A = this chain, B = another copy of it.
Amino acid sequence: MRVVVIGGDAVGMTAASQIKRSLGDDVDVIVIQEQQWTSYSACGIPYWIAGETTGPDTLVARSPEQHREHGIDVRTGMLASAIDPDTGSVTMQPVTGGPATRLGYDHLVIGTGSRPRTPPVDGLDLPGVYRVQTLDEGQAAIDGLARDPRTAVVLGAGYIGIEMAEAGVQRGLATTVVDLAPEPMVSLDADMGCLVRAGMTERGVDMRMGEPVRELLAGADGRVRAVVTDAGEIPADIVFLGLGVTPRTELAAAAGLPLGEHGGLLTDDHQRVRGYGNIWAGGDCVEVTDRLTGAERYLPLGTHANKHGRVIGVNIAGGDLAFPGVIGTAITKFCDLEVSRTGLKEDEQDGLVSVLIHAQTSVGYMPDSAVMAVKMIAERTTGRLMGTQIVGGRGAAMRIDTAATAIWTGMTAPELVQLDLAYSPPFSPVWDPVQVAARVLLGKLSD
């Protein structure tokens, strides 16, 4: 049996490793990878740029050579240029040009990932403007920092934007974040996004919310020198782009594979591309099913990609494993300000009720105790928990996993209040903040 994998990162290499481990010599696994790297942590690039960790090698979980030692035929520097589902083959050619080769497959795994959004703004390609999705882009940004910039502008106030703002501050740059949205982190409700904005402002970032970017200007040396918004010109020795990503599915689209309304590949719950028995896809190039609404969403996160890779690997190796969908759990931080979320936002569905409470991360008399806000959302008729958002000091955000587990299992607010959670003064108040939120929510539910 031959399995061809397009894309050598989380989905592709996880699936490839799983298949090779299960089937050994009974399978040939060929991975077509455009870059020279495999299995790297794109999520770590902001921390590399911040100087908190080193790179690029540190961010590589497993190199092409290591994968080859495990019997996986990794072809780096190769570009997949066509998929032919009828004949069961993929065409590939070297990135540097050269003759195309056709590879037949019994199973095809598509893990082509995503690409950064690029709005139609002049100057996004100027020297000094950096994307931070690949290791090469990360290295370019590191090289840019070596030119001793004083001012940084981050375009976009989502997860990557916030992490790049942290990198700017850590590097001692006067840092500005610009976004069209009225508050940072549109995955939060606006009242929680407002707390993120306030926290980042307090910590020295100039937060320019609700300001559309018009253009980027070059200096005499041809490098970026300013970002122009509706409100004026912002000096920028260096610019980081955190404008989000879109699924990279042109190849799949050209082959006639089904795409959803967000542009991602559509799969069944076993990660089989809909309508195809032997084509599989996962990670940043697919849409995922929201367990709470049943709708398809685009949520490109490493945690889903790894789970997809495992699911695909198990199934191709003869197993039967479904991916159960997502509830949108995510976490990030800006310096010591932690942010996390799971489930639905307040206005994402009718009939929801919410509360926003303030509590402490640990008992108030402990020296590290910090303020945290919890927003909790439930179905009014049933009390079923539907969403939670957290913004607060050190130790606040990981509580989202408690809420995510509760939401995943269909727990109600009154049940969460009674849940046997851990308590000790350095770790938590005697009523955990998520339980405090659930208690306050109870009052609203019984109104």
Q: Which residues of A contact B (CB under 8 A)?
A: 10, 41, 43-44, 47, 52-54, 58-59, 159, 291, 301-304, 306-307, 323-333, 340, 342, 363, 365-367, 395, 397-402, 404-406, 408-409, 411, 415, 418-428, 430-432
A361 to chain B, nearest CB (A): 10
Number of identical monomers bound together in the oligomeric complex? 2
> Which B residues are in CB contact (< 8 Å) with A301?
423
**Would you list 24 pairs from A and B whose C-beta atoms are within 8 A, ordered by A residue?**
A41-B365, A43-B363, A44-B365, A44-B425, A52-B367, A53-B367, A301-B423, A303-B420, A303-B423, A329-B420, A329-B421, A330-B422, A330-B424, A333-B424, A333-B426, A397-B427, A398-B398, A400-B422, A401-B422, A402-B402, A404-B421, A405-B405, A405-B406, A409-B409
Taking A398-B399, A432-B401 as contacts, is the C-beta distance between A420 and B342 under 8 angstroms?
yes
Let me know if B327 and A430 touch, CB within 8 A: no
Among A331, A405, A409, max chain B CB count under 10 A is at: A405
Let me know if A423 and B52 touch, CB within 8 A: no
Other than the given A326-B420, A342-B420, A402-B402, 8 more pairs (CB < 8 A) read A41-B363, A41-B425, A52-B366, A323-B418, A331-B427, A331-B428, A342-B422, A405-B405
A305 to chain B, nearest CB (A): 8
How far, in angstroms, from A434 to B229 measured CA to CA in the complex? Answer: 45
How far, in angstroms, from A430 to B309 measured CA to CA in the complex? Answer: 13
A24 to chain B, nearest CB (A): 17
How far, in angstroms, from A365 to B411 measured CA to CA in the complex? Answer: 35
Let me know if B365 and A53 touch, CB within 8 A: yes
> Which B residues are in CB contact (< 8 Å) with A307?
418
Let me know if B331 and A430 touch, CB within 8 A: no
Partner of A303, one of B366, B398, B402, B421: B421
> Which B residues are in CB contact (< 8 Å) with A10?
430
How far, in angstroms, from A398 to B429 measured CA to CA in the complex? Answer: 12
Let me know if B332 and A424 touch, CB within 8 A: yes
> Which B residues are in CB contact (< 8 Å) with A402?
401-402, 405
> Which B residues are in CB contact (< 8 Å) with A420?
291, 303-304, 325-329, 342, 404, 408
> Which B residues are in CB contact (< 8 Å) with A304?
420
> Which B residues are in CB contact (< 8 Å) with A395?
398
- Closest 4 pairs between A and B when the two form their complex, measured CB to CB: A331-B422, A405-B405, A409-B409, A303-B423
How far, in angstroms, from A405 to B409 measured CA to CA in the complex? Answer: 9
Let me know if A366 and B329 touch, CB within 8 A: no
> Which B residues are in CB contact (< 8 Å) with A59?
365
How far, in angstroms, from A411 to B47 measured CA to CA in the complex? Answer: 35
Partner of A306, one of B404, B406, B431: B431
How far, in angstroms, from A398 to B396 measured CA to CA in the complex? Answer: 11
Let me know if A425 and B323 touch, CB within 8 A: no
Let me know if A398 and B422 touch, CB within 8 A: yes
Among A43, A59, A420, A430, max chain B CB count under 10 A is at: A420
Taking A44-B363, A420-B328, A420-B342 as contacts, is the C-beta distance between A427 and B398 under 8 angstroms?
yes
A368 to chain B, nearest CB (A): 9
How far, in angstroms, from A323 to B418 measured CA to CA in the complex? Answer: 7
